Amino acid sequence: MTHLDDSVILVLGASGGLGSEIARLLAAGGARLVLSGRNQAKLEALSIPGTPLAADLTDPDAITTLVADAISVNGRLDGIVNASGVVAFGPAIEVSDETLAELFAVNTLAPIRLLRAARAALSESAEQGREPFIVTLSGVVSESPTANLAAYSASKAALAAFGQAAGRELRRSGIRILDARPGHTETELSTHPISGIAPRLPAGYPPVVVAQRVVDAIINGERDLASTSFHS
């Protein structure tokens, strides 16, 4: 079992609908948080205890700096929750290079770079007897690629594949990777696509329900949350 009390956790996408709910639950459990997102003002406006650090996840250097700054806040890092992401809608054959670049930069490459930057600190956390973890949210599209979301589905499927393989590699270091794949969740992500227009979507999960399941999985030492793990 992973104890949240006094653990130091970096939450990316902390100003988003799901990230903010996860952050609130982690804070309620006694975690010390570093809250990251694109907009410093939005982070500072959150009613969640933590240190706000804005970062552009499309910039590899910004990711390295973010991790270093997050470690410097409390002198260590015990966990990362990556709830950041971008979405694009539209036919597969019409997706632009610019949209492809941003989808994969944020949804796929950023989590890979994040792990690379944080690996030493997380290994040190394990050596000190804690149970470090990284949470990724590849979502249901990584299990069931969706029409008119082909590029988005691909970026998330790549993230899920990376997490599975990296998780096997990192077990000996005591670092756990947990991938969560909830279905459509009622956040504002679909209303702010980087390309295209969202179709009419069925009612999704309340963010607080998904957040609670993810935090429970962190505490319980789980490594995989399939789409079937989530219920309204």
100-133 pLDDT, tens digit per residue, is: 999 999 999 999 999 999 999 999 999 999 999 9
136: pLDDT strictly greater than 90? yes
Q: What is the band of 232 on the pLDDT scale with cuts at 50, 70, 90?
A: confident
62 versus 199: which is more confidently predicted?
A: 62
pTM above 0.95, yes or no: yes
pLDDT of residue 1: 77
Helices (runs of H) and strands (runs of E) counted in the chain: 7, 7
Distance CA 155, CA 67 (A): 22
| Residue 11: DSSP 8-state | E
Residue 195 has pLDDT above 90, yes or no: yes
In the numeric block, the tokens 């933590």 are attached to: 50
Mean of per-residue pLDDT scores for the chain: 96
- Please give the Cα distance from 114 to 58 (Å, whole number): 11
- pLDDT tier, 202 (very low <50, low <70, confident <90, very high otherwise): confident
pLDDT at 200: 84
Q: Break the chain into its structural domains and give their ranges.
A: 8-229
What CATH number has the domain spanning 8-229? 3.40.50.720
What angle (nearest 5°) sits at the alpha carbon of residue 105, between those of residues 103 and 109?
120
Q: Counting beta carbons within 10 angstroms of the beta carbon of residue 49, is it exposed (0 to 12), middle (13 to 18) or buried (19 or more)?
A: middle
Question: In whole angstroms, what is the distance from residue 132 CA to residue 35 CA?
Answer: 17
Average pLDDT over residues 85-106: 97
